[in-house]
Amino acid sequence: MLSVAQIGKEYGPAGPGRVVALAEVSLEVKGGDFVAIMGPSGSGKSTLLSILGAMNPPTTGTVTIDGIDVYGLSQERQADLRREYIGFVFQQLELLPYLTAIENVMLPLAILKMPDKRGKALHALEQLGLDAKKAARLPSELSGGEQGRVAIARAIVNDPPVILADEPTGSLDTESGQLVLELLRELARAGHAVVMVTHNLESRLVANRVINIRDGRCTFPETISACSAGR
Amino acid sequence: MGLNNIALAHLVRHKGKSVLIILGLATAVAAFVAVMSLTFSLRTTLDGRLARYGASLIVIPQNPQLSLEYGGVTVATAGSAQMALLDPSAVTRVQNIKSKKSLAAVLPVVLRAVNISGADYLAIGTDVASSARVKPWWKVEGTLPAGGDQVLLGLKARNKLRADTGTSLRIGGKQFVVSGVLQETGGEEDNAVIMDRAALAEAAGANAAPNMIEVAVTDSGMVEQVGREIQEAVPGVDVRSVKKSLEFNARANSSLASIGLGATILIILIATLIVVLTMLTEVRERQKEIGVLRALGFRARDVMGLMFRESLLLSAVAAAVGIALGVLGALYGPKIIPSLDLNFAASIPVIVGGALLAIVLAAIATVYPALMAARLDPAIALRKL
């Protein structure tokens, strides 16, 4: 499904000022996996997530989704690939405040010519326990947990095989955070490949694989192959 | 839901910025509509006055001799050896100049001194009916001459001859009947006997070659151009404008219109700058949002499309507001200066131009911000999350 081979990411000019954000990271994620990427701030986990999300080309190595070399595509095709293969859940959820819940969920469908976008979005919301009444509300009129559900509904509305979540519980209270984690676990059980960046130790309990990153490298287990397999 | 809905929802939610952009664009449109409407009104008013003034140009032969007039006393008389005549083909050549559509009338005129009852009078031979049409100030008691045996008398000539309508006059051995008398014009016609050109030539025993051609122009802005073209078409003639004061007014109004146009261009530039800066600020503030949209699969061109839809919606509202303000400005603005004496005429091309201006300005002002938004690296935008 999602394969990362020996990727590295460096910033800045060549020489001593060069910053190594990621080095020799390899990873295999299959449908049904729930992978938690953990590490302190600045360790490179968000960089890794943006590389997995077809938004940040690595300096070295390759990323393939469903056999497609992500960074061999043009930027426009990368956007198409994000829309078709990847669902994002952001740290602050990032619902657009001027759109209603259902309109937020419809965003990945907005540029597609397809019938009944609204019906599809409502179905995604109902799957996550939000009815039509809540769907018509602005994000500011919803609780934190409900906003989290809307964010997840937006990530799954076009049924992408890969879900990437960047600190999805970071802005939520404990109860809402637990709910979001539970929903992500259910998505993994439903066959989605879920990759979540978190520094919340409790989050690791819901994942079936954990990858630790420090200074851009997998620190436990120590080998690359073990990094791919480790718990 | 499509990009249109997202654009509309964004504009409704961000009313303050939307109003600012609408105001910027509407100001430019209003200035354009008001100034252009006033310019058109000035032109229409001037053309109306021009029509009331009759001939705009007179074409006369170049006389190689020095003037025979001193202290208002003319030594030679019209039709004498000293009086030059125009080539008869000159009339056709004037009628066929490049800007012939701007010609309201081309009237060849024969001027002669004729003796009536022992005194000399100025006789004007012309197409009297056409001449009367371009000289609406002519008020006739009686009728215009209907044939070659009738004449129209100026008031002073009538008083001297004591000849009322129906009176017979002998001119150069031929009998004429007075068909009508001109009310006082204050001009040279008051002293004249006016009649058909061919009849005058026959009575005076001369050919019908004109001494001058009166040219009436429909459009005040074309007087100079028509004059130049006549000069080129008929070499060896003098083309004189008979309405110097009107031309001066036209030039003054034209200068006023140029200043107005300059001010409008300045307002348009400032408005464009305001819109560009507002849109740039908008892009900076929406980096997060653009990053989210890009992450959700929006292509660069979709982001650009969203920005252009927003500016198109704003420009539609701005066009309506600006046109309304501009028309009101053109309608009531001149009333502040009563001496302007303008007849405001709403012009469809100006209104359509105003609407197009709003759209074009908004589009131009959106190009750079939209390109910036489209080029925004989603990874960098998301780092700001």
Domains and CATH numbers, chain A: 31-54+73-210 (3.40.50.300)
B300 touches chain A (CB under 8 A): yes
Model confidence at B247, in pLDDT bands (50, 70, 90)?
low
List chain A residues with CB under 8 Å of B1. Answer: 103, 106, 109-110, 117-118
Same domain, B18 and B101: no
Same domain, B59 and B44: no
Boundary-marking domain end, from B218, B242, B266: B242
B5 touches chain A (CB under 8 A): yes
Same domain, B295 and B169: no
Same domain, B70 and B44: no
B8 touches chain A (CB under 8 A): no
Residues near B378 by beta carbon (within 8 Å), at least 6 away in sequence: A55, B290, B291, B294, B295
Same domain, B100 and B219: yes
Write the DSSP string, A5-60. EEEEEEESSSSTT-EEEEEEEEEEE-TT-EEEEE--TTSSHHHHHHHHTTSS--SE
Interchain proximity A79–B379, CB inside 8 Å: no
For residues B39 and B220, the answer to whether their CB atoms sit within 8 Å is no
**What letter represents residue B131's amino acid?**
S
Model confidence at A86, in pLDDT bands (50, 70, 90)?
very high
Boundary-marking domain end, from B242, B274, B294: B242
User: What is the total count of domains within chain B?
Assistant: 2
Closest partner CB to B378 (pick from A55, A107, A109) = A55
**What letter represents residue B261's amino acid?**
L
B243, pLDDT greater than 70: no
Question: pLDDT by residue (tens digit) across B115-155?
Answer: 888 888 999 999 999 888 888 778 899 999 988 899 999 99
Which residue in A has a C-alpha nearest to residue B303's C-alpha? A111
Same domain, B10 and B87: no
Number of neighbours of residue B138 by Cβ within 10 angstroms: 20
Closest partner CB to B382 (pick from A50, A99, A154) = A50
Interchain proximity A107–B385, CB inside 8 Å: no
Q: What is the mean pLDDT of residues B313-335?
A: 86
List chain A residues with CB under 8 Å of B3. Answer: 110-111
∠A110-A168-A104 over CA atoms, to 5°?
20
Question: pLDDT by residue (tens digit) across A158-174?
Answer: 889 999 998 888 777 78
Q: Is B105 helix (H, G, I), strand (E, B) or coil?
A: strand
Helices of type H across chain A: 45-52, 75-85, 101-106, 117-127, 132-135, 144-156, 174-189, 224-229
- For tokens 């005129």, the residue is B109
In angstroms, the CA A181 to CA B296 distance is 21
Domain extent at residue B277: 3-48+250-383
List chain B residues with CB under 8 Å of A110. Answer: 1-3, 5-6, 298
* ipTM (interface pTM): 0.87
A230, pLDDT greater than 80: no
Same domain, B238 and B89: yes
